[in-house]
Amino acid sequence: MEILVGKTAGFCYGVKKAVDGAKNENKNSKNVYCLGEIVHNKQVINDLEEQGIKFIENIEDAKGTTIIRAHGVPKEIYEEAKKRNIELKDYTCPNVLRIHKIVEDYSQKGYFVFLCGSSKHPENLGTISYCGENVYVIEKENDTFKALEKLEKTGIKKILVISQTTYSLEKFYIIEEIIRNELPRNIELEIKNTICKATELRQKETEEISKKVDMMIIIGGANSSNTKKLYEISKQNCKNSICIETVDELQIEEISKYDKIGVMAGASTPQKEIEKVVEKLEEL
């Protein structure tokens, strides 16, 4: 059996910075809280909980040093924390902070914001809070037409198109093409591809590997947006693609039928989880 493991599999810079930061804060303080899941991976969360970090959903429940997760939070959280004298340790991914700054600047200049991504994703909830009233979240390609209808009703003559850091590169390009084809010429258009480089490289490598193998294994959290996108890309090129969180989900009898297997992992998947899967495959 030949095993191809993605070079870009596992923790990205932003995730590593947040997880290492959380561990360091826990060493230096007695009561450490994290507002929401620091990253979308159960194994990482369980590991940090065992070390003593408490995960909360509301800033009101914080009673000590509080970590801002890699996905970031709405700007109102910073204001509320200040009122309550809560010390925040901000580990928002630098790429996400950059998006917050961009949409805030453009919104203040009167732009309508088209945000490509999931309306319920924590990263976008934070981004939306910096957009003002004129924002539309485009989740799927067809949503672009609804966004353009909304823009027309407002009478605004300039738009900014921007993206969630882990959005599908392929979908972003399709949305861009629709906008360029459908947008009236009197509308000023600014397009900024803010899909992070690590996401872009991981998606491209997943596509390349999935075209070469008989079976593809994607490792990552069930609620991880970037992991789901890797699975979608893989499935397009290799029908025998599966998505798992841990090695325990592998069906050995099924896997043993294939001669060439590809392995890729999401941005919040720990290296040890990838190694466990590879070790199990090497046993075959």
Q: Which residues are catalytic?
A: 123
With CA atoms as reference, report the closest residue to 280 among 196, 217, 189: 217
Contacts 24+ apart (CB under 8 A), 240-245: 240/214, 240/215, 240/216, 241/210, 241/215, 241/216, 241/217, 242/215, 242/216, 242/217, 242/218, 243/218, 243/219, 244/217, 244/218, 244/219, 244/277, 245/41, 245/42, 245/43, 245/219, 245/220, 245/221, 245/273
Residues in contact with 167: Cβ distance below 8 Å, sequence separation at least 6, in sequence order: 116, 117, 195, 199, 229
The answer to whether 10 and 227 have CB atoms below 8 angstroms apart is no
Whether 189 and 179 have beta carbons less than 8 Å apart is answered as: yes
Kindly report the number of other CB atoms within 10 A of residue 272's CB atom.
Answer: 10
Beta bridge partners of 241: 216
User: Cα angle vertex 232, ends 226, 237, to 5°?
Assistant: 130
Q: How far apart are CA 190 and CA 186, in angstroms?
A: 13
